Structure 1
Amino acid sequence: MKHILLIDGMALLFRSFFATAITNQFMRNDNGTPTNGVQGFLRHSLTAIDLIKPTHVAVCWDMGKETFRNETFADYKANRNAPPEELIPQFDLVKEVAEKFSFHNIGVHGYEADDCIGTIAKKEAKHARISVVSGDKDLLQLLEPNIEIWLVQKGYGNYNRYTLGRFIEEYEITPEQFIDVKGLMGDPSDGYPGVKGIGEKTAYKLIKEFGSIDNLLQNKEKLTPGQKKKISEDEKMLHLSRQLAEIHCEVPLEKPFAKDWNGVSDRAIQVSDEYGLKTVKRFLENAGL
């Protein structure tokens, strides 16, 4: 059976950058360009491929800060700091190197990598297995019988692997209900507030009890006076937050969504030398890739 691996490129790039930037290990090449994020991304991706053994691979990228969500809510992700100057040149560099390593890059202006991942996963899951590698828990809303989410943990090769069954057992809700939970509690990192005064614990409790935001709103008389007041005052923001939390699975993508994976390019060692990726070169040599 076809097995597609979808890699959240920006999530792995950021994770790799900040893991080494904290000790100022920017791994500059001969041109003085930092490469720590790029090298970490490649090591994470190649390690995941070795474990998952997919038949097809695609790497999805954010294509700039502005997306359709900013048109819906101007403050979406507005609270995030500007990227460090050492990371900025790595945004283009990582895609360039990834292509030379035989990765299939995907990104559409106006959409996030999550939306591209969601679009491919939902369309391909009818006739393929899908594994998604990321550090973003928001992707858990995509879980289906044929879709797994592998959340990156500390170090290389350590993943928190979620199947649909494990998610339902652990969270006691469905992946679709997870979107409603996010709508209620909001997400400070993405800058949408949800309902003011409704935290994570209460959001899970309410969705477990009522099943959905729509059913909750139809049964407000069953809420405590405090909950009823908070939700009534913030109902408009509740709907907006749920809309922002949901991954858009209809991105206009060109086929192929993913390309056959036949291993890294024969030129991978040469490319590593060309870009001064010493850590990656050692990794390739040690792994026999």
Structure 2
Amino acid sequence: MRKLMIVDGMALLFRSYFATAAMGNFFPNRDGVPTNGVQGFLRHMMAAKQTFQPTDLVVCWDMGAETFRNDLYDGYKAHRPAPAPELVPQFDQARQASETLGFTNLGVHGLEADDLIASLVENYATDVPITIVSGDKDLFQLLRPNVTIALTKKGYTEYDVYTEDRFVEEYGFTPKQYVDYKALIGDAADGYPGVKGIGPKTATRLIQSYGTIGGLIESLPNETKGVQKKVTEQREMLDISYELAALHYEPQVTLDGGAPIPPWSETMKAQLEALDYSLVVRYGESLHA
């Protein structure tokens, strides 16, 4: 049976980079170019493949810093510092290295990797079980009976795996309502405020009571004076926050011919050795001994 694994490439690359950068370990190649993020990313990929045993695998990438969300709200991710100079050359290296291992890679200018992941889920989850590997909880809104999300944890082989049932048990509402929840509480990491003064506890109660932002607006006269005031005065930001939190479906994002995974080979090993990815070679050999 086919099983699709979708990987948030940039999330794994950043995580891998910072795992060793704090200690000053950049593992430069023979030309002095850092490879710590790339090698960690590839080991993450290989470990995830070993853990979840997919038949198909696709890596989704952000393409540039600007997307339609920046046009919607100037503050979107505006507070984030520029990438470290040791990380910058590894963006292209990571995608090239992923291709070296034969993985399918997707990136579309103007869209975030999350939107590509959402589009693939929408197009394929009815027919194929899907595991999403990421560190981004925004993807929770994609959970459904045939979709699981494996959040990365410390190391290469530990994941915090969410199913639709686990999400409902922990949050008290459905994954589809996660975008309404995020619109209310905002996202400090992405730089949008939601409705100031409404935190997770109140947001959960509102979603449980009214279902959606639309339901809340319709029933706002039934709410406390405090909630009425906050929502009314910050309505525009609430609507913007909803648009920023929602993942966008692009029907043209497809996998023509699937995304089959080639087996580990001597050719791959030689290509990785030529790139000075010795850590990856050793890890690959250990998995396929």
Shorter-chain TM-score: what band?
A: over 0.9
Alignment of 1:146 onto 2:138: no
1:169-208 mapped onto 2 (5 Å cutoff):
169-208=169-208
| Number of the residue aligned with 1:60 | 60
1:112-261 mapped onto 2 (5 Å cutoff):
112-250=112-250, 252-256=252-256, 258-261=258-261
Equivalent pair of 1:101/1:265 in contact (CA under 8 Å): no
Equivalent pair of 1:97/1:271 in contact (CA under 8 Å): no
Structure 1, unaligned runs of 5 or more: none
Q: Which amino acid aligns with 1:109?
A: H
| Number of the residue aligned with 2:45 | 45
Question: How far apart are the structure 2 equivalents of 1:263 and 1:204?
Answer: 46
**What SS is found at the alignment partner of 1:160?**
strand
Q: Return closer, same or farther for 1:120/1:257 CA change in 2, 3 Å cut-off.
A: farther
Equivalent pair of 1:151/1:161 in contact (CA under 8 Å): yes
Q: Which amino acid aligns with 2:31?
A: N
Question: How far apart are the structure 2 equivalents of 1:141 and 1:57?
Answer: 21
Question: How far apart are the structure 2 equivalents of 1:158 and 1:232?
Answer: 44
Let me know the Cα RMSD of the aligned residues: 1.3
Equivalent pair of 1:111/1:251 in contact (CA under 8 Å): no
Question: How far apart are the structure 1 equivalents of 2:138 and 2:3?
Answer: 22
Deviation digits for residues 128-153 of structure 1 (CA, Å, limit 9, x no counterpart): 11110000011110011111111111
Q: Return closer, same or farther for 1:121/1:257 CA change in 2, 3 Å cut-off.
A: farther
TM-score, length of structure 1 as denominator length: 0.96
Q: Return closer, same or farther for 1:193/1:31 CA change in 2, 3 Å cut-off.
A: same
TM-score, length of structure 2 as denominator length: 0.96
Question: How far apart are the structure 1 equivalents of 2:25 and 2:261?
Answer: 31
**What SS is found at the alignment partner of 1:50?**
helix
How far does residue 246 in structure 1 lie from its aligned partner after superposition?
0.6
| Number of the residue aligned with 2:274 | 274
Equivalent pair of 2:59/2:103 in contact (CA under 8 Å): yes
Question: How far apart are the structure 2 equivalents of 1:14 and 1:248?
Answer: 23
Deviation digits for residues 127-184 of structure 1 (CA, Å, limit 9, x no counterpart): 1111100000111100111111111111111001111111111211101111100000
**What SS is found at the alignment partner of 1:267?**
helix
Equivalent pair of 2:123/2:254 in contact (CA under 8 Å): no
1:67-82 mapped onto 2 (5 Å cutoff):
67-82=67-82
**What SS is found at the alignment partner of 1:241?**
helix
**What SS is found at the alignment partner of 1:115?**
helix
Equivalent pair of 2:46/2:284 in contact (CA under 8 Å): no
Question: How far apart are the structure 2 equivalents of 1:143 and 1:11?
Answer: 18
**What SS is found at the alignment partner of 1:29?**
coil
Equivalent pair of 1:58/1:258 in contact (CA under 8 Å): no
How far does residue 66 in structure 1 lie from its aligned partner after superposition?
0.5
Q: Which amino acid aligns with 1:101?
A: L
Q: Return closer, same or farther for 1:22/1:168 CA change in 2, 3 Å cut-off.
A: same
Equivalent pair of 2:125/2:146 in contact (CA under 8 Å): yes
Q: Which amino acid aligns with 1:144?
A: R
Aligned length: 289
How far does residue 265 in structure 1 lie from its aligned partner after superposition?
4.9
Question: How far apart are the structure 1 equivalents of 2:236 and 2:286?
Answer: 55
Question: How far apart are the structure 2 equivalents of 1:88 and 1:198?
Answer: 37
**What SS is found at the alignment partner of 1:83?**
coil
Alignment of 1:3 onto 2:15: no
How far does residue 221 in structure 1 lie from its aligned partner after superposition?
2.0
**What SS is found at the alignment partner of 1:106?**
strand
